[in-house]
Structure 1
Amino acid sequence: MDKSSAIVLEAIIEVCSEDTSVVSSPSVAVWTPCGSENKEDKTAESEKRDETDYLCSPTPEPVPKVYFIYAKRCEQLKVNQSEKHFRSMTESLATSHQQDLISVSRTLNDQLVVHHATFGACGTTAVCSTIPFFPECSKVVLDGNNLTAWAIKSIVTYLCRLKHLSELVLSSINLNVIPEKIIVTLLVSTRTLKRLDISGNKLNDKTAASLLEQLIFYQNLEELNLSKNLLGLQSCQALEKLLGETASLKILNCGWNEIRGPAAMVFAKGLKENYGLQYLDISWNGIGNNGAWAIGNWLKEAGQLLSLNLSSNRIEAIGLAGLFLGLAENDVLRELILSRNPLSETAVRESLYALASGLSRSVLETLDFQHIDLGFSFDQLVQETKQFRPKLTCLWSPRDPHLFSKFNQMSVKVDLIEANTLQMDF
């Protein structure tokens, strides 16, 4: 065990074993948290010091143990104490007992939010060490913090103690650097979650599948963000089970993964077993035409889906046809996003013709064709379609003549190079 891990383990044991308050020295009248001036590396061993020595200026009144724990952890990890976090704890404690700060109310500090690059790995770990003193905390947001493996392990230990956690955001914190079993342990201990965000962690297919298997036991999960990971076939097989057994799930984001080929077909099969999903994002996966047809078949049965994002999925004209066949039998979908797909202008025009002259059951209000090569005359067709569907908003990008002129110049240069090569070979 390295030195950092030993320090963190010792600190965790102290949190569990110590009482709830510390009586400070009577010689000092005012307490203030450490500021940025306290930067020297203190070498005195912690077991030989009085607990209140870790506070910069102790008060003669009893103070909550949480103050001492946080201050001590900051010194052990050699980071500055955050005045903002001290104020947050003070204000939260004062809302319940102005004169009695020893007994920590169970209604205080219902959320802990530490956004990216706020304290660093050590500072974030120190802040999270105060979590056990607020057992009613229901929301923890740690998005974007570049945490190390030992920091994540310590934070997971603290999070496992929260029995009323309903929202947990662990996006882009390097979850991929810790063993799979640690994340599984966290999910086993937090089955009260309604919202879970583990996006941007580059979790591999096997690890993601193991985590999704634990989510099957979540009875209240409403929102799940799995974007920007490496979900593939194994994950989609686990998602199939999750979608079939979780009726509470309303928002699912699987964008920027590897759901394509067989994985896309398995994913679509799982969607057919779910009837409560309202918002689905599977953009930037490359599901292709076969995946689009499978999603189109699901649209015929999707009774509550309001928004579907299929941008950047390599969907061509034949895939678009499959989607609109499903849309013809759907009477709930309000938004369909198809931007950045290799669709021809002819295919896009035919889809608008279908909306104008048919698809009487469809209630589509937003259709997104942005970043697709469409001519300026496309606007006229959009206006004509609105005469039949006044509520329809069609988003599209007009062709950039300068951009395409550059492409033409490049193609001419390529042709010249090829011609010169042929002449030289001859």
Structure 2
Amino acid sequence: MRIPYPPKPTLPRACEGRITAGSPRVCPHETPTEPAPQSSDEALYCEAEVPQTVRKVKPDRENSETDLEIEDNEKLFTTGQKELYLEACKLVGVVPVSYFIRNMEESYVNLNHHGLGPRGTKAIAIALVSNTTVTKLELEDNGITEEGILSLVEMLQENYYLQEMNISNNQLGLEGARIISDFLETNTSSVWSLELSGNDFEEESAALLCQVLSSNYRIKKLDLSHNQFSDVGGEHLGQMLANNVGLTSLDLSWNHFHTRGTVALCNGLRGNVTLTKLDLSMNGLGNEGALALGEVLRLNSCLVYLDVSSNDISNEGASKISKGLESNESLKVLKLFLNPISVDGALSLILSIKRNPKSRMEVLDISNVLVSEQFMKTLDGVYAVHPQLDVVFKGVQGPSAKNTISLLTNPMKLIQQNKVPLNQYQVRELIKRLDEKTGMVNFSFLNTVKL
């Protein structure tokens, strides 16, 4: 596979599949005295001769079969990498990105919103062929199109160090989905996290991607949010999830799934044994979709995080989900905010958790729901059974202003006023404020609390 670029006849041909920054460019399969002809614009790498100041001949004692080696002299290697990128930019006719030059030896490179275009992406890809330090690359919103993604996937066939790549919002469309699908079918890259959000993928793209993902086990995290998958896409994704044994995180938020697509998706989730995080927020699942999700929660023993926010799920749908929560032993986070759920639906959810002694629920997000004083009393009972649980709601309605203040008052103020004991809500809020995940309690902000 070769990344095309404008030919430069005066420069020698690079060794097939290898490029070296800081060492002689000798192909082990060709005699150095026999110059090979330049190919057309199908050449894979920048045919750039590294300047003499950075050339370094390997000692005779080295007997390596690969040119992708870092020289002992780190300074020379660094200079070679930068010179390689600069020459690539000159050949493809783009202005070098100074940020990339400064950070090409860092593990994380963020080139989001740099206006690279397909040619700028090609120059980056040429430079990354032999790069061994970059493990995460961000290329969101660069208009790379299918030409740029072709350069990237050809680079990934040679680079085994890059592990996470974000190419969201790049107008890839159906042809881009086809190129990515062909790449994923090889199952040889080291990339395990792929973000493809907002790339105008429709049903045909879903079919292409899902066909190869059914047998791909390397991709662990996949973001397909903000695309245009609808019910047909949901059917393809459901079939993929039924067979896939690699994905652990899948983001399908901001698509167009409705009842039919959701049911198909859930059918695939029932037997899935690897997916732990699923984001279906901002779709149109409705109560019928909630019924299918409740069945998934009853049968699936792997899912840990589920976001179904803003999906037109009412109290009826909350009740269906509650049925699944009564027997689920794996889910820890359930997000249901921005759904038309009232205090009755909220009660059914927390009571289902209370009835399940093996529940591992830690966060229930119903942050748009105004709860009642009776709900708070019930919640105290649920906390007694499941002290790890945190229910996030909008506020308390009904009781007098005095009771509401007493219920929700900042616990730090009550400590300073010696008003203890605290209620359950205040105890949990106190723990949140004191816990900084360091193993130590920080009381420094006590002096900043205004009474």
> What is the TM-score of this pair, normalised by structure 2?
0.66
3-state DSSP class of the match of 1:395?
Answer: strand
Aligned match of 1:268 = 266
The answer to whether the 8 A contact 1:195-1:224 is kept is yes
Q: CA offsets per residue over residues 90-116 of structure 1, 9 Å max, x none? A: xx5xxxxxxxxxxxxxxxx8x563431
Aligned match of 2:152 = 155
In terms of mean alpha carbon deviation, does 261-270 or 389-398 score higher?
389-398
CA distance in 2, matches of 1:120, 1:173: 11
Residue 306 of structure 2 aligns to which amino acid in structure 1? L
From the superposition, tell whether residues 245 and 228 of structure 1 become closer, same or farther in structure 2 (CA, over 3 Å): same
Does residue 18 in structure 1 map to residue 14 in structure 2?
Answer: yes
Structure 1 position 248, deviation (Å): 3.0
- Structure 2: gaps spanning 5 or more residues: 25-46, 56-75, 399-451
From the superposition, tell whether residues 148 and 270 of structure 1 become closer, same or farther in structure 2 (CA, over 3 Å): closer
Aligned pairs for 1:165-184 (under 5 A) are: 166-176=163-173, 178-184=175-181
Does residue 317 in structure 1 map to residue 332 in structure 2?
Answer: no
Aligned pairs for 1:333-412 (under 5 A) are: 333-356=331-354, 358-374=355-371, 379=376, 381-398=378-395
CA distance in 1, matches of 2:270, 2:91: 53
CA distance in 2, matches of 1:262, 1:350: 26
Aligned match of 1:128 = 125
Aligned match of 2:196 = 198
Pick from 280, 291, 312 the counterpart of residue 289 of structure 2: 291
The answer to whether the 8 A contact 2:144-2:170 is kept is yes
Aligned pairs for 1:71-220 (under 5 A) are: 71-88=86-103, 113-118=109-114, 120-121=116-117, 122-134=119-131, 139-162=136-159, 166-176=163-173, 178-192=175-189, 193-220=191-218
From the superposition, tell whether residues 225 and 21 of structure 1 become closer, same or farther in structure 2 (CA, over 3 Å): closer
The answer to whether the 8 A contact 1:163-1:190 is kept is no
The answer to whether the 8 A contact 1:167-1:195 is kept is yes
Structure 1 position 134, deviation (Å): 3.3
Does residue 238 in structure 1 map to residue 236 in structure 2?
Answer: yes
The answer to whether the 8 A contact 1:15-1:69 is kept is no
From the superposition, tell whether residues 343 and 11 of structure 1 become closer, same or farther in structure 2 (CA, over 3 Å): farther
From the superposition, tell whether residues 81 and 194 of structure 1 become closer, same or farther in structure 2 (CA, over 3 Å): closer
Structure 1 position 176, deviation (Å): 1.8
From the superposition, tell whether residues 163 and 354 of structure 1 become closer, same or farther in structure 2 (CA, over 3 Å): closer
From the superposition, tell whether residues 252 and 149 of structure 1 become closer, same or farther in structure 2 (CA, over 3 Å): closer
In terms of mean alpha carbon deviation, does 315-324 or 165-174 score higher?
165-174
In terms of mean alpha carbon deviation, does 383-392 or 215-224 score higher?
383-392
CA distance in 1, matches of 2:12, 2:285: 49
CA distance in 2, matches of 1:396, 1:82: 46
From the superposition, tell whether residues 295 and 209 of structure 1 become closer, same or farther in structure 2 (CA, over 3 Å): same
In terms of mean alpha carbon deviation, does 169-178 or 296-305 score higher?
169-178
The answer to whether the 8 A contact 1:204-1:230 is kept is yes
- Structure 1: gaps spanning 5 or more residues: 1-6, 25-49, 93-108, 402-426
From the superposition, tell whether residues 267 and 148 of structure 1 become closer, same or farther in structure 2 (CA, over 3 Å): closer
Structure 1 position 399, deviation (Å): 7.6
From the superposition, tell whether residues 153 and 22 of structure 1 become closer, same or farther in structure 2 (CA, over 3 Å): same
Residue 184 of structure 1 aligns to which amino acid in structure 2? S
From the superposition, tell whether residues 257 and 22 of structure 1 become closer, same or farther in structure 2 (CA, over 3 Å): same
CA distance in 1, matches of 2:8, 2:388: 58
Give the aligned CA root-mean-square deviation in angstroms.
Answer: 3.6
3-state DSSP class of the match of 1:133?
Answer: coil
Does residue 307 in structure 1 map to residue 313 in structure 2?
Answer: no
3-state DSSP class of the match of 1:336?
Answer: strand
Aligned residues: 346
The answer to whether the 8 A contact 1:336-1:366 is kept is yes
Q: CA offsets per residue over residues 30-66 of structure 1, 9 Å max, x none? A: xxxxxxxxxxxxxxxxxxxx967xx9xx664537775
CA distance in 1, matches of 2:269, 2:207: 17
Q: CA offsets per residue over residues 260-317 of structure 1, 9 Å max, x none? A: 1211110010001212221121111111111111111111121122111111111111
